[in-house]
Structure formats: C-alpha cells, structure tokens
Chain A
Amino acid sequence: MERKRSTEAVGKTLAEKIWAEHVVRRADGEPDLVYIDLHLIHEVTSPQAFDGLRLAGRPVRRPDLTIATEDHNVPTLNIDKPIADPVSKLQVDTLRANCKEFGVRIHSLGDKDQGVVHVVGPQLGITQPGMTIVCGDSHTSTHGAFGALAFGIGTSEVEHVLATQTLPLQRPKTMAINVEGTLKPGVTSKDIILAIIAKIGTGGGQGYVIEYRGSAIRALSMESRMTVCNMSIEAGARAGLIAPDQTTFDYIKGKPHAPEDFDAALAYWKTLFTDPDAQFDVEVDLNADELEPFVTWGTNPGQGLPLNGVVPNPAEFADSEARTAAERALVYMGLEAGTPLKKIAIDTVFLGSCTNGRIEDLRAAAEVLKGKKIASSLRMLVVPGSARVRLEAEAEGLDKVFIDAGAEWRNAGCSMCLGMNPDQLAVGERSASTSNRNFEGRQGKGGRTHLVSPLVAAATALRGTLSSPADL
C-alpha cells in the first residue's frame, strides 16, 4: 500500500513549488529562510511573543500581513458582558492592547469576523492558493485546503514572524494520500481523515507535508476539504494541502479580500499543481468506496474504527506499544472490549471547532435534527466557528432547528474542543464531538471524547448512543 520514492524526480510536487517560491535565502548547512505571506494570531500563544518584541525594541515588520482574533478561551455565552474568568480576560485584554500598540488588525468578541482563527481566514478571503500561512496553533493546516502551505508554530516562532515575516525552516518530505472512488451517502470528509489517521497512525505523517489527491478529494466542497487538511496534524504531519481547482477559485471569488486583479491571481493559481513527473517520498492509497462513518474509541485520534465495529480487544494488537496504549485507553474511556460502538451512551454532543464548525457542517447536522428532539439523556452544544457563520445560520433559520430540537445555540469560539473556556466535560462525562482531539482530559479533566462527523453527531444526539443517520 505504501510506495516509496524510487528515482530522482524531475518535476516538483505542489508543496515543493510553493516552498521554492518563498525561499528568501538558502545557504549550505543552514535551514532555508522562508517568507510568510500571512500570520494569524490569537490570545493564547501570542502574549509572550509580543513581550519579546517589546523587550528587544523590535516592531512588527508587516502588520498588513498579520491578523488577530479571539477564539481559544472566549466564553460562548453572555459575550456582551466582561469575561468572567479573570485569566481569560487577562489574555484577551493583553491581545487587544498588543494589537493596538503594534498596529495589528483584530476581530474582537462582538465583531462579525471574530471566531476560530482557521474559520476567519478563509471567510475573509485572505487564505488563498500558493501562500505560506502560519499561526501559533497546530490546526493551521486547515488553510492547506486552498493549496497553501500552512502550518502551526510555537510562540518563539510567532515572535520570529512578527519581527521578520520569515522563518528558518528545514525542508519537509512529501507524502501523497490518494483517495479514489465515491463516498457512500452519510460518509463525509471527516470519515476520510479519521480513516487515514487510523491507517497511518498519529506519527505516520511526521516530517512530511501531505498532499491529498484523487477523485474523492476533488469531489469534496471547499469546506469539506478544510476538514481533511485540518486533521493532518493528528496524522503527525505539520501541513496538508490540496491542489486548487475551480471549486477553490469559486469559493474565493466575492470574498472581502479576494484579489482585485482576480485574473492575474487566477493565472498564477492555475500553475499550482504537482507536476505529472514529480515524485513523492511516500504514497498511500485509500479506497473511498469502502469507507463507512468513522468514530474513535480511544485516547488518540489514530484509535478509530468504522461505527459498525466493536471496541477492540487490546490482546489482539500485535505491536506491544499499541497494546499498552489500547489497554490504557480502554481504562480511561471506561469501555469493555467487544462492546458494539453503537451501544455506547453519550452525555454531551459538541458540534463546532475549526474541524467542523463551518456553515456546511451546521447545515448537515440541522438537516438530520429538523423537526426532531434530542434524547433527554444528553445535552448538545452547537458552537458556530465564527460570528459570521452564526449570522449566516440564523439567516437560514438553522438556529431555530437546533433550539427546537433541544440543543444550545452558542456564540463563536474554540469552546469545548479544548475546554479552555467554561465549556468543559465533567469527570467521566462522555462526548461525541466533531472536534479533532480525543486526548485524555482534552475537553475537561476526566472527560471522555469520541470524535465523529457532524452527521454522526446529530444522529447520536437523537438516539443517545453513537449512531449514524442510517440508524434513524
């Protein structure tokens, strides 16, 4: 299934093309100095970076290539009131003060372009093909859906980009994941990426940029492509991308920051594909015809199975490390080997995040919930990815569908995806979550997370146990 590079390639892969176009300086024995086209910032990973600039007396080199929003720890209720949590308030106030001092554009709570940073970039049209995009957040890979090289960085690198608009970087290796075929009804891009991670493992993409290719990827909408690229990091890859095509161009057209000279940009974007004679370091194939709705059972995103399956028996894992990890995961998750996944009862359904908090995701879930009531045994939180998504959903009446079904309709933010704000699981509480990480305690100390698609989230909310719309 895996093929490795055999001979020296002549052509370039898409990632290699974008990289080459952004090298500011190359010297033997040193990392390439790479230019950054767009820097997204938020309240959690930026305060120490701005502080570093201040201490050294350095300005932000390109405020016009920088944009900030508040997402990681903001409340999703009562946003017209001061933030109740004093430490969250401190971080948000610090971000606002830093943006003011350094001349950086910011979208604060209450603004229509406030929201999860990876939802905001694309909706403004500032995420475009062929760009290098960074943010102090590992899910920056989301922007790769536009054919951009986009990856998460640490706070020291945030400071480096603020000061120089560049980063010294080692060239990554390239991996192609070919997804050919047609998805069955009820199977989504979330299921594609969960299946990929289960196949290659959480370390499978380490050191690589992944390019997602094949007919099943081409058939995806822009927002579904973002879901796939978003979780590249859960496969260990710092970045994942998809070559731009008409779907991409149509999505950008008409957005606030779409290029004024659209034709000039388009001519360039059309050069952004992997050359036919290029070779990847590794290729992996996946058959879309065979995919089923996927769900995680364990405590890392690679511990996933088709929803029709049963909780695995750790004793059947050949690899001793995987066996130990599975044993530990079942204890933490409070699950018995052999239990059908569909018998697992859920306490909380979370619909939102940079993985699945866009308008399409809300539409898909609302379609399932329309005219029905969620199970009385659980609660459901619907958290739009941005204030703009929330407004759009309200214009379509989706908020009413959710509220009538018994779900909570919240304001935009990262919310329960990482439990930094008050939206958290209690000890032992079990969620079906459209987010991206099922780590121990990720959604709240002692909380248990099953990662699912928006369709599975909605069906689960109705039945009270992990379910797909086909079970209704």
Chain B
Amino acid sequence: MEKFITHVGTGVPLRRSNVDTDQIIPAVYLKRVTRSGFEDGLFAAWRNDPDFVLNQAAFKSGTILVAGADFGTGSSREHAVWALQNYGFKVVISSRFADIFRGNSLKGGLLTIILEQTEVEALWDAIEAQPSTPITVDLENRSVSYANKKLPFAIDDYTRWRLMEGLDDIGLTLKQTDFIDSFESNRPAYKPATLPIRS
C-alpha cells in the first residue's frame, strides 16, 4: 500500500446525501476478478448526465471528493473504494460515512475525513466558486487546509500510523500468530465446523 502523509489536490463537490455504494458502483460493474479497472463503473448512472459534476471540465482533475452526509451506505462492496481510487480520488470528505465503507477505505489507503456539515458546505461553496482552489490534506497533522482556512479532523492514532507507514494489516496480524494459536487451543468443542461435511 502506498504511504499517505500529505496530499495536495483540487476538490469535486458532490452535493448529494445518502450516496450508497450502488450509486458509487452499480452491481453490474462488479464482475471483474481484479482490483483494477473499476473506474468506468464509478457513479455510472449519473455520468450519463452531462451536467453531473464529474462531466464538468472544471472538476475533471479533482482528487478530493467532497460529498453529502451518509456517504457509502448499503452494500459492503470494496469495489466502491477501488472505483474511487481507480478513477484517481485520494481523499473523500463528508460529515458522515457508513461504517463498512469507512473501514474499507482506510484499509485500502483511501483517506476518508469527517468534517462538520457546515464545513462541508463552506468547502462546496469555495470549490464551486473557484474549482482550482488547492486543498491540502495533511494526515500527519490531521488537518484540511484551503484558502485561509485550516480545519482539524479526527482519526485514531493506529489507523493514522498504518496509513502513514503504508502497512498491510495482514502482515501486522500474522506477527500475532502465537496469540491466535493460543486462542484456538481454548475454543470449545461444541463450536461448529464446516468440515467434515454433514448433511
């Protein structure tokens, strides 16, 4: 995973709440067996609309998606994170994220940042007025800066460290194999197993 320390980019205002993962990438686009190539499915239904924000030249090169509340609700499909990343997004800002989507994004290195709704709206206004406004996302100092504003955001120390080091969760857990072995040796015998097959 690529290390995330700071990112400077421009924003894309997505003025919609409850953007569920079926909107981020419809199910018909989920049929690949790789982690790449999902950018075509990103917001597929909305991209037919010439006025949709991603179809506007001014926002073509944006890397920071600024969305309404409850972003990423619905299906657990990690393809939603891959589609955003494959398209070129590095950061998503919203006032509220669905739990599974947030977990998936932070595992995969797409930084999801929670700001107050009023701050999200101010950011929308600023980037709509001036799409080339540079936005600096500083994970080390936990802040989002643009124009003359500097907004702090919260992220737990562990996740921040893991993202800044670009570490793979599985590798970290495999260092704890002794704990897993020990836990397993104490599991009760009545817990079910899928093998051998009983029918």
Contacts and interface: CB of A to CB of B under 8 A. Distances in A.
A207 interface: yes
Interface stretch (B25-33, B54-62, B142-150): B25-33
Contacts, number: 205
Interface in B65-114: 68-70, 73-79, 81, 96, 98-100, 103-104, 107-108
Contact of A206 (B18, B20, B35, B99): B99
B129 interface: no
Q: Helix, strand, loop or mixed for chain B's interface?
A: loop
A339 interface: no
Nearest to B173: A164
B194 interface: yes
Contact of A154 (B30, B107, B183): B107
Given A156-B107, A164-B174, A236-B98, A105 B45 contact: no
B31 A90 contact: yes
Interface in B102-144: 103-104, 107-108
B51 interface: no
Contacts of A125: 192
Interface in B145-167: 156-158
Interface residues of B, number: 61
Contacts of A58: 170
A439 B20 CA distance: 7
Given A138-B76, A154-B78, A440-B45, A265 B180 contact: no
Interface stretch (A63-71, A186-194, A364-372, A405-413): A63-71
Given A33-B173, A160-B170, A418 B103 contact: no
B72 to A, nearest CB: 11
Given A236-B99, A439-B23, A445-B26, A256 B176 contact: no
B78 A420 contact: no
Contacts of A72: 27
Given A128-B192, A165-B180, A268-B190, A437 B174 contact: no
B179 A25 contact: yes
A33 B108 CA distance: 18
B76 A64 contact: no
Contacts of B49: none
Interface residues of A, number: 85
A325 to B, nearest CB: 6
A105 B22 contact: no
A253 to B, nearest CB: 13
B141 to A, nearest CB: 19
A201 to B, nearest CB: 8
10 contacts: A33-B176, A48-B35, A126-B192, A153-B76, A154-B100, A160-B169, A164-B177, A206-B70, A420-B31, A439-B22
Interface of A: 24-25, 29-31, 33, 35, 37-38, 44-45, 47-48, 51-52, 56, 58, 61, 63-67, 72-73, 87-88, 90-91, 94, 105, 113, 125-126, 128, 131, 136-138, 151-157, 159-160, 163-166, 168, 170, 202-203, 206-207, 233, 236-238, 256-257, 259-261, 264-265, 268, 300, 321, 324-325, 328, 418-420, 437, 439-442, 445-446
A-B residue pairs, 9 tightest by C-beta? A87-B31, A154-B104, A154-B78, A47-B33, A152-B76, A265-B190, A138-B76, A64-B195, A155-B78
Given A137-B76, A203-B70, A446-B45, 17 more contacts: A24-B183, A51-B34, A90-B31, A125-B192, A126-B192, A137-B75, A164-B170, A164-B177, A164-B180, A165-B180, A170-B156, A202-B18, A233-B74, A265-B190, A300-B73, A420-B27, A445-B45
